[in-house]
Amino acid sequence: MSRFWNPLIKKLVPYVPGEQPKIQDLVKLNTNENPFPPSPKVLAAISAATGEGLRLYPDPDASALKATIANYYNLTPDCVFVGNGSDEVLAHTFQALFNPERPLLFPDITYSFYPVYCGLYRQAFETVPLDEQFKIRVEKYDGLNGGIIFPNPNAPTGCLLSLDEIERLLKVNTETVVVVDEAYIDFGGESAAKLIDRYDNLLVVQTLSKSRSLAGMRVGLALGHPELIEALERVKNSFNSYPLDKLAQAGAVAAFEDDGYFQQCRDDVIREREALVDRLSAMGFEVLPSAANFVFCRHAERDAGELAAALRERKVIVRHFMSERIAQFLRITIGTSQQNSKLLEALEAILGSK
């Protein structure tokens, strides 16, 4: 830290992303990527977009992509915003759509990027504890606030709210924006996108990183009333008017067009998750009900940090959070059946060798 730093930056505690190890032969179940490759049609679209055309700037409005997404969700293109991963879409949302002086409400436990953005954008915030079953308590979000944000399903717990519960929250909170971060919605939930025409304060944020196997490409999106989208566009055009490069735009269009491939991978992940939950439960883990591509679980007798370290020695990496309230949990991304078998074999060896 030097004396030249902006005082705000001096106080900022940055988000620590999950590890992207350089070693190749690890079973990597720590950052919720999809274990299956992107659709071959996405790869073909990206190759077709490379070449001489890269000399020119991309479409700053990503109109083809917005039209594709609008069609997919039965909305008009002015209800769609796209950005460089949903983390960037969320950053623009924090700048554009919350009242910084009133507390933004989000759950305690949730995606740990939210408090970081609050620090960056001087956003006041308050956290609302989960219930005993680690579920979001919708009835606790009805006070005066500067906005509301939560993932559905929640991260890192994987627990899902129904659309009825979300609608209840929207009905009592009509004066501020409610952001539903649907990074994992495709793995078992119902998108709130269908509520957009009834609630002008609802913003749904999604990503192509998880269910569409494109974390490396960085495409996120927001769906909402055109006036909310216009605010996001203003921030974008004042920050980086070309957030999505040509290859990402082409690849993302193809990802939405190849719905059959998407559904097949999604169903495979869900099937693998159900099998993994059964096996982990049989080994003495309590596994929270998950609607995501990961499970959040704790062992009745063994320390989570020690389990994570022992798995790592056996070349399997899972996520262990240091934060006190969840220090007894492991978050395990659903892998292919081979990867999940390696995880289970390693766990059997570790638990058997107590």
Give residues in contact with ligand PMP (CB under 6 A). Answer: 85-87, 111, 151, 155, 181, 183, 207, 209, 215, 220
Q: How far from 90 is each of 38, 126, 222, CA to CA, in Å?
A: 24, 18, 9
Q: Which is nearer to ligand PMP, 66 or 299 (CB)?
A: 66
Minimum distance, C-beta of residue 199 to ligand PMP, in the bound complex (Å): 21
E strand segments, the chain: 27-29, 80-83, 104-108, 125-129, 147-151, 178-181, 202-207, 220-224, 285-287, 294-299, 316-318, 330-333
Minimum distance, C-beta of residue 134 to ligand PMP, in the bound complex (Å): 15
The set of residues, in sequence order, having a beta carbon less than 8 Å from that of 229 and lying 6+ positions away, is: 78, 79, 80, 81, 222
Tokens of 104: 């933004």
Among residues 159, 165, 160, the alpha carbon closest in space to that of 178 is found at 165
Computed on alpha carbons and rounded to an integer, the radius of gyration of the chain in Å comes to 21
Q: Which is nearer to ligand PMP, 130 or 347 (CB)?
A: 130
| CB atoms inside a 10 Å sphere around CB 40 | 11
Q: Which is nearer to ligand PMP, 188 or 220 (CB)?
A: 220
Q: Which is nearer to ligand PMP, 111 or 321 (CB)?
A: 111
Q: Which is nearer to ligand PMP, 261 or 294 (CB)?
A: 294
Q: Which is nearer to ligand PMP, 183 or 223 (CB)?
A: 183
Minimum distance, C-beta of residue 349 to ligand PMP, in the bound complex (Å): 30
Minimum distance, C-beta of residue 205 to ligand PMP, in the bound complex (Å): 7
| CB atoms inside a 10 Å sphere around CB 111 | 20
Sign of the Cα pseudo-torsion (323, 140, 113, 29, in order): positive
Minimum distance, C-beta of residue 354 to ligand PMP, in the bound complex (Å): 32
Q: Which is nearer to ligand PMP, 181 or 258 (CB)?
A: 181
Minimum distance, C-beta of residue 109 to ligand PMP, in the bound complex (Å): 12
C-alpha atoms less than 13 angstroms from C-alpha of 76 in its C-beta half-sphere: 6
Minimum distance, C-beta of residue 208 to ligand PMP, in the bound complex (Å): 7
Minimum distance, C-beta of residue 5 to ligand PMP, in the bound complex (Å): 26
Q: Which is nearer to ligand PMP, 189 or 342 (CB)?
A: 189
Minimum distance, C-beta of residue 16 to ligand PMP, in the bound complex (Å): 11
Q: Which is nearer to ligand PMP, 270 or 310 (CB)?
A: 270
- 3-class SS string, 242-311: CCCCHHHHHHHHHHHHCHHHHHHHHHHHHHHHHHHHHHHHHCCEEECCCCCCEEEEEECCCCHHHHHHHH
Give the DSSP letter string of 12-45.
-----PPP--S-SS-EEESS---SSPPPHHHHHH
Q: How far is CA 66 from the centre of its chain?
A: 20
